[in-house]
Amino acid sequence: MFEIKAYECEHCGKISRHKSSIKRHEKRCYHNEETRSCITCWKLEAGKCELCKEKLRTGCPDWESLQEAIDAQEWTTPAR
């Protein structure tokens, strides 16, 4: 049996043995706010975005942080 070292994406938890592939992944991870994807935008859950009704996007010009809305208590995640 061998023990292995692995790397985990700090945004979504994806795991890889290769540091470079996780580094590359984090830059385009949908759960990374820096990619400005629909997943981290409050408008997706609120159904207030015309753009992401068609297709989820990254680098969205209309992106607004879901986390910031939660922190400001302007938004509560609906119960699932």
Write out the residues near Zn ion by the rule CB under 5 A. Answer: 9, 11-12, 14, 29
CB 66 within 8 A of CB 36: no
Closest CA to 75 of 52, 41, 50, 49: 41
Cβ proximity to Zn ion, 10 vs 71, nearer residue: 10
C-beta of 24: minimal distance to Zn ion in Å? 11
C-beta of 63: minimal distance to Zn ion in Å? 17
CB 40 within 8 A of CB 50: no
C-beta of 48: minimal distance to Zn ion in Å? 25
